[in-house]
């Protein structure tokens, strides 16, 4: 099992900043953001403020990558995947380990198709309540990272190397028996709480106590369970209830990433959440009216963004 000594992070949003801040504290480890074009120019100073503390994090362009890093963390939005492929080509070589912390069920297959010589770990980032504004990040809970391989080989040496590296950094890491179930479970959560929060404007605290927010969230999640079972994924009704202990530990003022996108008039990931579920449901003639409604409302709200956004 080799050790991780260099990490490139593609994406300087909430998750990218959170992980960069934690990983750069690991002794003898090189950690940097990889960015291209205008994004590189804006990030180049490398100045970030995380929980009110100023931090300096290295930022590099593709031409500044002289040796392929041991680990690449992909932390962009789903709709940016295609455009970051040139960046990934600069960082990924044969045997490079890739961890995608994107929400949804499609990023790992996307990367596998384009980088067949890389080792792509299936990943779930769960339980963080980070809120980002420009280069500032506030969080009370950094959550945990759930890792696995496509074939659920828990003894895979690359998997164990990344798990040990995250442990050294202070990040909590788990290796489940079935990573695909974990990926779908997180997707179910996103489909529920992210979409409903973005439609209603509700932070986590509302979902802690309000029965209307909870009922709408659960209805969207229940449709996901039905589709998962049709797709051969082991999601169950009780998995909805199993979300609440994690939800209730999230800061009451914290906001989902989709709500933050809505408030900042940014494009949302609704097509990768409810939109993708609607596509899969159609294969099996499963009705998903709650998700159809949520996706339509989100599309209309995006349409009504101010024109200068």
**Tens of each residue's pLDDT in the chain, 309 residues:** 578 999 999 999 999 999 999 999 998 999 999 999 889 999 999 999 999 999 999 999 999 999 999 999 999 999 999 999 999 999 999 989 999 999 999 999 999 999 999 999 999 999 888 888 889 999 988 999 999 999 999 999 999 999 999 999 999 999 999 999 999 999 999 999 999 999 999 999 999 999 999 999 999 999 999 999 999 999 999 999 999 999 999 889 989 989 999 999 999 999 999 999 999 999 999 999 999 999 999 999 999 999 875
Residue 53, CB half-sphere, CA atoms under 13 Å: how many?
Answer: 9
Alpha-carbon distance 25 to 197, whole Å? 33
CA distances from 110 to 78, 104, 105, 270 (A): 10, 12, 10, 18
Q: Can you give the pTM of this predicted structure?
A: 0.91
Domain 6-177, CATH: 3.40.50.720
| Cα–Cα nearest to 4, from 50, 64, 68, 86 | 68
CATH class of the domain defined by 180-303 = mainly alpha
Q: Where in the chain is the domain with CATH 1.10.1040.10?
A: 180-303
Q: Where in the chain is the domain with CATH 3.40.50.720?
A: 6-177
């Amino acid at each position: 099992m080799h050790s991780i000594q260099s990490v490139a992070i593609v994406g300087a949003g909430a998750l990218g900043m959170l992980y960069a801040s934690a990983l750069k504290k690991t002794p003898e480890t090189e950690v940097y953001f990889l960015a291209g074009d205008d994004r590189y120019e804006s990030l180049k100073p490398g100045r970030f403020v995380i929980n009110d503390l100023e931090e300096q994090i290295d930022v590099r362009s593709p031409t500044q990558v002289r040796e392929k890093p041991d680990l690449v963390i992909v932390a962009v939005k789903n709709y940016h995947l295609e455009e970051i492929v040139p960046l990934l080509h600069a960082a990924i070589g044969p045997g490079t380990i890739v961890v995608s912390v994107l929400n949804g069920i499609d990023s790992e297959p996307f990367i596998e198709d384009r980088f067949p010589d890389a080792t792509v770990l299936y990943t779930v980032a769960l339980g963080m309540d980070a809120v980002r504004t420009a280069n500032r990040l506030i969080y009370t809970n950094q959550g945990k990272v759930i890792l696995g391989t496509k074939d659920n080989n828990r003894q895979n040496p690359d998997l164990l190397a990344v798990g040990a590296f995250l442990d050294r950094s202070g990040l909590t890491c788990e290796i489940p028996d079935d990573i695909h179930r974990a990926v779908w479970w997180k997707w179910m959560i996103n489909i529920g709480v992210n979409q409903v929060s973005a439609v209603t404007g509700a932070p986590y605290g509302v979902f802690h106590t309000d029965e209307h927010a909870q009922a709408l969230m659960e209805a969207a999640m229940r449709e996901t369970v039905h589709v998962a079972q049709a797709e051969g994924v082991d999601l169950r009704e009780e998995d909805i209830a199993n979300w609440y202990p994690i939800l209730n530990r999230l800061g009451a003022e914290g906001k989902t990433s989709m709500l933050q996108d809505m408030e900042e008039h940014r494009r949302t990931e609704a097509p990768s959440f409810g939109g993708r579920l609607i596509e899969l449901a159609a294969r099996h003639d499963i009705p998903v009216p709650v998700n159809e409604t949520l996706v339509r409302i989100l599309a209309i709200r995006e349409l009504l963004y101010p024109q200068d956004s």
